[in-house]
Amino acid sequence: MKTELYLDSNATTGILPSALDAATRTLAESYGNPSSTHSAGLRAKAILDGTRTRACRLLGVGDGRLMFNSGATEGIQTAVLSALCAVRERRPQGGLILYGATEHKAVPESLAHWNRVLGLGLEIRKLPVDGNGRHDLDVLRALAPQAVLVCTMAANNETGTISDLDGITAALAGSPALWLVDCVQALGKLPLRLADTRIDYAPFSGHKLYAPKGVGMLYVRAGAPYTPLMTGGGQESGLRAGTENMPGIAALGAVLAELEAGTSFRCRAELEGLRQRLVASLRRAFPDVVINTPLDMSLPTTLNITVPGLTSSQLLDTFDAADIRVSAGSACSAAKALPTYVLEAMGFPDWRSSNAVRISLGAATDDATVDAACRRIEECGEVLRHRGPAGTGAPLPALAAPAAEMELDADDLLAFLAAQPAAILVDVRDDVEHVVSRLPAPLKKAVNVPLARLTADVPDWLAAENRPPIVFFCRSGNRSARAASALRALGYDNAFHLGGGLALAPAWT
Ligand code: PLP
C-alpha cells in the first residue's frame, strides 16, 4: 500500500513525537492536579508553569496574561464576551462591531451569539477584503471611530493570506475599539511579539501546531477588559475555571520547546521552497490550474487552487484515492460544491470559489512527503487528462433505506469473501479514483463500475441465474451504500457493501 501523504495541516496536524511522549508521561506518571499542594500536584504545576513561561517568552506576552483553555473557539468566545461586557458598561449608546469578511466562522458566530445573549443589539458589520484577501483599510479607517470591537485574523486558514497588521494598527489609531486577532494559523509560522502590538486578545490552538486537539491559549493584553467564560475552582488565576488539560498542556510545552530550539520546524524559506515544488507539479499536472493564494503575501504552508473543468470533489476524491489528503476550500456536498465565503469575499467568480482545493503543509512537513506528493499529483493529472471524470449516467433506481444487514465491516468482509468465493467485488468510485489507487490485497480482483454508470450493468446482474453476492465498496461507504440499496430495491437481495469504505479498512494497509 502507498503511505498516506497528509497535506491538510490547516485543518489539523499530527502530533510531534516529543509531544506524544510528554502527553503520555503526564497521563502515566505526572497525573497530579496542579491545584493540589502535595508533591504530585507540585510536579503537575511545574509542567503547567513551564509551558506558560515558554509560551509567554515565545509570544512576547510581556505583562499581558496568557491562559490555557480548550482551543481557539473557546478563546474567541472568551475574548468576545470580555469585550462586549466592557462595551455594555462603557458605551450604553451603542457602537459598531467589525469583523473581517474572511474570518473563521467561530468569529461571526460568537459575535452574533454574545450580542444576542447580552441583549446589546449592536450592529455587526463585515469588513471587506481585496482580491488578495487583505482587509480594506480605507473602510476600516472610516468606521474605526464608531467601532467598539474589531476582529481580524493574523493569517487566513483557507488561503494563507497574511493580514497587514501594521496597516490595521494605523487605521485604528485613535479608535476606542478593542482588537481581537485570531492567531491560530500564525503560531509557529509568523513571528509574534504580542505585547509590542495594539492587539487586545489573541487566541491560539494547539492542534494546528503538532499538539493534541483540546488545548489552546488566549493572550489578553495587560489592562484589556476580561470576563471569564467559566467560573468555578479558580484555576488559571480565576481567568478560566476547570481542572487543566494537563496532557495537552504538557504536549504543547514540548512543541513550544522545539519551536524555541528551532529543531523540528522548517524556516520560512524552506517551506516556501516546498510550496514552489508543489506549484510546479500542479502546473505540470493541470496546465491551466489557477492559484487562489496570493503567493507573495501568504503563509508558505498554504496553497489554494482551482482546476478549471474539475469540481473540488472530483479533485479531492482523486487525490484521496492516491492517498494524498487535502481539503476542499469550500463547504461541499457530494452533489454540489458550495462557494467558499472566503474566496467569494475576495471577489472570485463562482466556478473558482466553488471548486477550490486547499493543500496545506505543516511547519514540520519534510521534503520526502512533498516529493512523493508531487509525483502522485502528476500521476493524478495524467490520469485525469486522459480519462476525464466519470459522467453522470442514468439515474439510479429509487433507493430503499440502507439496511444494516447489507453492511459488512472490514473483518466481516474477509470472512464473507472466504465463505463466498463466487462473490463479485465492485469498486463504485469513479474510474480515475480506481486507477490512481492501490487496492489492498483482498480487493484487488474488484471490477470498477462507477456509481454514475451503475445502471448500465444492473440488467446483466439481474439476469444472472444464480445471483452471486455482489459487494460494493468506495472511499467512505456512501456511494457503495447507495449502490447496494438500489440493487436490493430492484429485488437483488444478495447485494452488500463495505460499511465505512476503504477509509476504515486500516487492517489491510
Ligand atoms: N480560527 C482559525 C483561523 C482556524 O483555522 C480554526 C480552526 O480551524 C479556529 C479558529 C478554531 O480553532 P479550534 O479548533 O481550536 O477551536
Work out which ligand 1 atom sits closest to the CA atom of 70: 15
3-state secondary structure 130-145: CCCCCECHHHHHHHHH
Residue that the C-alpha cell 476503504 belongs to? 502
- Nearest-CA residue for atom 7 of ligand 1: 11
| Entry pTM | 0.92
Q: How far is the CA of 43 from the centre of ligand 1 (A)?
A: 31
Q: How far is the CA of 73 from the centre of ligand 1 (A)?
A: 6
Q: How far is the CA of 466 from the centre of ligand 1 (A)?
A: 54
Distance (Å, rounded) from C-alpha 424 to C-alpha 458? 13
End-of-domain residue from the set 234, 261, 288: 261
Look at residue 87 and give its three-state secondary structure: helix
Helix (H) or strand (E) holding 167: helix 165-171
Q: How far is the CA of 3 from the centre of ligand 1 (A)?
A: 27
Q: How far is the CA of 216 from the centre of ligand 1 (A)?
A: 10
- Return the pLDDT at 337: 64
Residue 505 confidence (pLDDT) above 60: yes
Residues 245, 281 within the same domain: no
The runs of H, that is alpha helices, within 388-470 are: 410-419, 431-436, 454-463
- Candidate of 77, 208, 340 to mutate for ligand 1, largest count of ligand atoms within 8 Å of Cβ: 208
Q: Which residues contact 66 (CB under 8 A, 6 or more apart)?
A: 52, 55, 56, 59, 217, 218, 219, 220
Residue 333 confidence (pLDDT) above 90: no
**128 CB burial (10 A radius; 0-12, 13-18, 19+):** middle
C-alpha cell at 187: 503560531
Count CA atoms within 13 Å of residue 337 on its CB side: 23
Distance (Å, rounded) from C-alpha 428 to C-alpha 450? 4
For residue 311, being part of any structural domain is answered with: yes
Q: Which residue has better confidence, 2 or 80?
A: 80
Residue 261 confidence (pLDDT) above 60: yes
- Return the pLDDT at 92: 63
424-427 and 470-473 beta bridge pairing? parallel
pLDDT tens digit sequence for 36-78? 999 999 999 999 999 999 999 999 999 999 999 999 999 999 9
Distance (Å, rounded) from C-alpha 13 to C-alpha 271? 16
Q: Which residue has better confidence, 459 or 125?
A: 125
Give Cα 343 distance to the centre of its chain.
16
Can 332 be counted among the known catalytic residues? yes
- Candidate of 8, 73, 181, 245 to mutate for ligand 1, largest count of ligand atoms within 8 Å of Cβ: 73
Predicted confidence band at 339 (pLDDT cuts at 50, 70, 90)?
Answer: confident
- Return the pLDDT at 459: 81
Q: What percent of the chain has pLDDT over 70?
A: 94
Distance (Å, rounded) from C-alpha 4 to C-alpha 441? 17
Helix (H) or strand (E) holding 287: none
Work out which ligand 1 atom sits closest to the CA atom of 185: 3
The arithmetic mean of pLDDT across residues 175-193, rounded, is 96
Rg (CA), the chain: 26
What residue numbers bound the domain in which 480 lies? Answer: 403-508
The arithmetic mean of pLDDT across residues 338-352, rounded, is 93
Residue that the C-alpha cell 493574523 belongs to? 154
Average pLDDT over the chain reads 93
Work out which ligand 1 atom sits closest to the CA atom of 205: 15
290-291 and 302-306 beta bridge pairing? antiparallel
Predicted confidence band at 397 (pLDDT cuts at 50, 70, 90)?
Answer: low
Q: Are 321 and 434 in contact (CB under 8 A)?
A: yes
Residues 216, 142 within the same domain: yes
Helix (H) or strand (E) holding 89: helix 72-90
- Nearest-CA residue for atom 12 of ligand 1: 72
Q: Are 102 and 133 in contact (CB under 8 A)?
A: yes
For residue 395, being part of any structural domain is answered with: no
pLDDT tens digit sequence for 270-284? 999 999 999 999 999
Q: How far is the CA of 84 from the centre of ligand 1 (A)?
A: 21
Angle between helices 268-285 and 367-387 (to 10 degrees): 20
Q: How far is the CA of 150 from the centre of ligand 1 (A)?
A: 18
For residue 230, being part of any structural domain is answered with: yes
Work out which ligand 1 atom sits closest to the CA atom of 74: 16
Residues 357, 428 within the same domain: no
The b/e string for 487-500 (b: 16+ C-beta within 10 A; e otherwise) is: bbebebebbbbbbb
CATH of the domain at 410: 3.40.250.10
Look at residue 197 and give its three-state secondary structure: coil
Residues 424, 382 within the same domain: no
Work out which ligand 1 atom sits closest to the CA atom of 103: 3
Predicted confidence band at 388 (pLDDT cuts at 50, 70, 90)?
Answer: low
Residues 382, 477 within the same domain: no
End-of-domain residue from the set 216, 231, 261: 261
- Candidate of 205, 245, 342 to mutate for ligand 1, largest count of ligand atoms within 8 Å of Cβ: 205
Residues 41, 94 within the same domain: yes
Distance (Å, rounded) from C-alpha 209 to C-alpha 67? 17
The arithmetic mean of pLDDT across residues 206-223, rounded, is 98
Predicted confidence band at 336 (pLDDT cuts at 50, 70, 90)?
Answer: low
CATH of the domain at 353: 3.90.1150.10
Q: Are 313 and 336 in contact (CB under 8 A)?
A: no
Q: Quick one: which of 155, 202, 219 has its CA closest to 10?
A: 155
Distance (Å, rounded) from C-alpha 151 to C-alpha 185? 15
- Candidate of 157, 183, 190, 217 to mutate for ligand 1, largest count of ligand atoms within 8 Å of Cβ: 157
Q: How far is the CA of 62 from the centre of ligand 1 (A)?
A: 25
Work out which ligand 1 atom sits closest to the CA atom of 71: 15
Measured from CB, residues less than 6 Å from any atom of ligand 1 are 71-73, 104, 106, 153, 157, 182, 184-185, 205, 216
Distance (Å, rounded) from C-alpha 182 to C-alpha 28? 34
Out of 332, 374, 380, 474, pick the active-site residue.
Answer: 332
- Nearest-CA residue for atom 8 of ligand 1: 11
Residues 221, 351 within the same domain: no
pLDDT tens digit sequence for 416-433? 999 999 999 999 999 999
Residues 69, 157 within the same domain: yes
For residue 377, being part of any structural domain is answered with: yes
Residue 15 confidence (pLDDT) above 90: yes
C-alpha cell at 225: 477588559
Q: Is the dihedral of CA 280, 8, 451, 476 positive or negative?
A: positive
- Nearest-CA residue for atom 5 of ligand 1: 157
Q: Are 206 and 183 in contact (CB under 8 A)?
A: no
Highest mean pLDDT: which of 89-103, 227-241, 481-495? 227-241
How many structural domains does the chain have?
A: 3
Residues 205, 106 within the same domain: yes
- Return the pLDDT at 282: 98
For residue 211, being part of any structural domain is answered with: yes
- Return the pLDDT at 489: 86
For residue 266, being part of any structural domain is answered with: no
- Nearest-CA residue for atom 16 of ligand 1: 73
Residues 228, 376 within the same domain: no
Amino acid identity of 207? H
Distance (Å, rounded) from C-alpha 182 to C-alpha 99? 11
Helix (H) or strand (E) holding 28: helix 17-28
- Return the pLDDT at 334: 43
Strands (E) located in 196-330: 201-205, 216-220, 290-291, 302-306, 324-325, 327-328
Q: What are phi and psi of 213, to 5 degrees?
A: -70, 150
* DSSP designation for 423: P
Look at residue 130 and give its three-state secondary structure: coil
pLDDT tens digit sequence for 459-498? 888 888 889 999 999 999 999 999 999 899 888 999 999 9
Work out which ligand 1 atom sits closest to the CA atom of 155: 3
Residue that the C-alpha cell 508558505 belongs to? 300
End-of-domain residue from the set 261, 292, 318: 261
DSSP string, 476-488: SSHHHHHHHHHHH
Measured CA to CA in angstroms, residue 232 lies from 214, 217, 243, 249, 423 at distances of 19, 19, 10, 20, 60
